[in-house]
Structure 1
Amino acid sequence: MSVIDLSALKGGLKELPPLSLYIHFPWCVKKCPYCDFNSHEFKPVPGAIAIQAADNVGRSRVGEGFDEMAYVEALLRDFEYSLPAIWGRPITTIFMGGGTPSLFSPEAMDALLAGLRARARIHPDAEITMEANPGTFESERFKGYRAAGINRLSIGIQSFDPRQLKALGRIHDGDEARRAVEIALTHFDNVNLDLMYALPNQTLAEALADIDTAIAFGVTHISAYHLTIEPNTLFAVQLPANLPDDDISADMQEAIEARLEGAGYMHYETSAFGKPGRFARHNVNYWQFGDYVGIGAGAHGKISSHEGVVREMRYKQPAAYLQAVADGNPLQSSHKVGRKELPFEFMMNTLRLTGGFETRLFSERTGLPVSCIQSQLRQAQAEGLIEQDLTHLRPTLKGQRFLNDLLTLFLHDEGEN
């Protein structure tokens, strides 16, 4: 950690960044053992959606119940509480994440999007993404999502290999994964597939087979994630056996990157590969330190004003969230990001982009002069972690591989005033 020089600071933000909207749906058919997202297994309740949920060996599952239309109404009320902070600003992208948003019916999604349009300016060309899992796919259902205005799907495939899907605790098999992609491409021309590698007992050939299957479908975007053992997950308690070691994992990463780039997918972010013109616009806004309202149980948000940057978090437990919305305050926490924290927060996002960022963006999004991080930039360049010219700053290949080391340079000393 090092000292951030803020002596040259004169004022806050002059222009506000683009604005996105994130909507969290906290329910899943089954909680995956690697997942640390805010998700809860569900059971239908009277008057709620009628989806038959089963695990991958056919046993019925139970969890927390939910009423989809009551949740939609809560989301819209939650959004109304955010309006004063974003009034007049157009929303350029919407992302529906989870959990499993595709547990909700097309009718619920249509009501949600109509309600949002009635309350705020949604850009006519807005990218509207919904996450979906293969165990929830029916053709007519996804036709209805498209008619409601959703124009991009992100499908949680993870693997096409039945053995790996079982190891990951997924509820679908390889055939269902392939069928889900076929259905998606029938109704959507902008589809992302999430895949994972460095899985238990996985070989390099098996990792590449998943990538080749995804490429063969011709989807516009592929995300390839290294399996990470996160705290507070089942895998953290019971570590999977025979995970590939660091050398094999690195070989997988390099081979996957080469295979995707050879197939015309541009590696534009740590784990993201898109066809030209088909990058995930919503995520790019995150990575360029743009703004986003976050609504729904456990959703996070980042809102800028001319006075600075505020981060927000909603209540995580669905029941607590619904009660908080009914009480008129869905926020569990809200804090202004300190000036000394801003350089790290900015770099934590923008240095995920393989092409880096225009240097001017630092001042535009933080309100701080670039001069306040010159010593950190010089150190990063001396260590071969970044390269820069008069207008751009980008991580080198070494910087991409050792991103955590690079980001540590921008952490401020907690003892600073």
Structure 2
Amino acid sequence: MTLAPPPLSLYVHIPWCVRKCPYCDFNSHEGRGELPFAAYVDALLADLDFDLPLVWGRTVQSVFFGGGTPSLMPPEFIDRFLQGASSRLRFAPGCEITLETNPGTAEHGRFEGYRDAGINRLSFGIQSFDDGCLQRLGRIHDSAEAEAAVKLAQDAGFDNFNLDLMYALPQQTLAMAEHDLERAFALQPTHISHYQLTLEPNTVFAARPPAGIPDDDGSWDMQEHCQVLLAQAGYRQYEVSAYAQAGRECAHNLNYWKYGDYLGIGAGAHGKITLGHDQSILRRWKLKHPTRYLAEAGRDRAIGGDERIPPERRAFEFMLNTLRLVDGFSLTGFEARTGLSRTAIEPQLQAALANHWLTLESDRVRPTELGRRFTNDVVGLFLEE
């Protein structure tokens, strides 16, 4: 089989935040003093120049500024980066360009600047509209600031935005989780990310779990109840924790979940690129610490690591992403994006079908409701021996 280069996205990591949240395991660093945004944009563009030979001639379908807290970076620096990036890469018409924002950093006038710079989608890290829950999560905003930030963005002309909400929070009840969704619906987001709090390794919460986290049964009740509410409000679930109004799915994250390609630039950013000339898939990641990254960006020494994905691991990686999607994947797409024949996964598919974890209709493989409950078990079938 031949590897066909899939759609390409660009991920840009902004590593600073105001305060590290106790549940966060992302590459984020508390900003102290004046942050070196001008130097960081220079470093990002040098980093992009270094990676450009991997993607000559390809078109970028989406851009995503993640973090950290990207909204700490003033609009003029976002503008300078996007101007530099679009002069180096071809951006598709209507390219989705998302900026993650923390309500605690929203300032009047900034949203107009981001829109003028080319940002056309926002993602708000709300997490909850309950002030007690927000305090227990270590967030720097309260519910009033969250609503005010969203309304400022709407006043600035943004009509495509996501709200991040978490459930199974310390001391949260089912009624509180329902109330969070009601407050979210009132703001009319086009997209809601609704995911369970997990205690990730190497976080404060993992070392010192907070009291009152709902047990598995309580968490499951919240998930099931909230899924019904989201559907009733017109948000279709298309991924494990992603719900969208019709046509408003996140193009950038969909590309990840469909095993697409993405350049990753910035401190700690990860990328995945399909290389047609030698029929390989390259994963590359950058130095994590902002100071080291700033010193080395644009050179070999800025690369934290390079790895070629061997054919025997591609099926597992593909499933790890695509089986998060409610609509699953096509066998034709599997062959194009892994370079493997569908016969390579025939035994695993048959096992999953027998367990009623997947369905197969013509070319399309979809997880069942049962399969979505046991995603890790389904994906585990494809792990190399």
What is residue 309 of structure 1 aligned with on the other side? 281
CA distance in 2, matches of 1:284, 1:356: 11
- State how 1:271-290 maps to structure 2 within 5 Å: 271-290=241-260
| 1:355, distance to aligned residue in structure 2 (A) | 1.1
Matched residue SS, 2:209: coil
Structure 2 counterpart of 1:301, one-letter code: G
CA distance in 2, matches of 1:90, 1:327: 24
Structure 1: which 5+ residue stretches go unaligned? 1-10, 46-65
Q: Deviations 1:380-402 (Å, cap 9, x if unpaired)?
A: 11111111111200100011111
Task: Give 2:335's match in structure 1, choosing from 342, 359, 363.
Answer: 363
Task: Answer yes or no: is 1:119 the counterpart of 2:88.
Answer: yes
What is residue 25 of structure 1 aligned with on the other side? 14
Task: Give 1:180's match in structure 2, choosing from 142, 146, 149.
Answer: 149
Structure 2: which 5+ residue stretches go unaligned? none
Task: Answer yes or no: is 1:204 the counterpart of 2:193.
Answer: no
Structure 1 counterpart of 2:29, one-letter code: H
Matched residue SS, 2:163: strand
What is residue 38 of structure 1 aligned with on the other side? 27
CA distance in 1, matches of 2:43, 2:364: 43
- State how 1:392-403 maps to structure 2 within 5 Å: 392-403=364-375
What is residue 5 of structure 1 aligned with on the other side? none
CA distance in 1, matches of 2:295, 2:106: 31
CA distance in 1, matches of 2:328, 2:231: 18
Task: Answer yes or no: is 1:406 the counterpart of 2:375.
Answer: no
How many percent identity over aligned positions? 52
Task: Give 1:214's match in structure 2, choosing from 175, 184, 190.
Answer: 184
CA distance in 2, matches of 1:385, 1:186: 45
Task: Answer yes or no: is 1:265 the counterpart of 2:235.
Answer: yes
Contact 2:285–2:306 (8 Å) recurs in 1: yes
Structure 2 counterpart of 1:184, one-letter code: A
TM-score between both structures, scaled by the size of structure 2: 0.98
Q: CA RMSD in A?
A: 0.9
Task: Answer yes or no: is 1:145 the counterpart of 2:114.
Answer: yes
CA distance in 1, matches of 2:301, 2:120: 31
Aligned residues: 382
Matched residue SS, 1:139: coil
Q: Deviations 1:265-311 (Å, cap 9, x if unpaired)?
A: 11000000000000000000000000000000000000001211111
Structure 2 counterpart of 1:17, one-letter code: P
CA distance in 1, matches of 2:38, 2:163: 28
Structure 1 counterpart of 2:215, one-letter code: D
Task: Give 1:75's match in structure 2, choosing from 35, 44, 64.
Answer: 44
What is residue 374 of structure 1 aligned with on the other side? 346
CA distance in 2, matches of 1:128, 1:400: 29
Task: Give 1:324's match in structure 2, choosing from 286, 291, 296.
Answer: 296
Contact 1:185–1:191 (8 Å) recurs in 2: no
- State how 1:49-68 maps to structure 2 within 5 Å: 66-68=35-37
Q: 1:75 to 1:374 in 2, by over 3 A?
A: same
Task: Answer yes or no: is 1:223 the counterpart of 2:223.
Answer: no
Contact 1:12–1:308 (8 Å) recurs in 2: no
Structure 1 counterpart of 2:257, one-letter code: W
| 1:352, distance to aligned residue in structure 2 (A) | 0.3
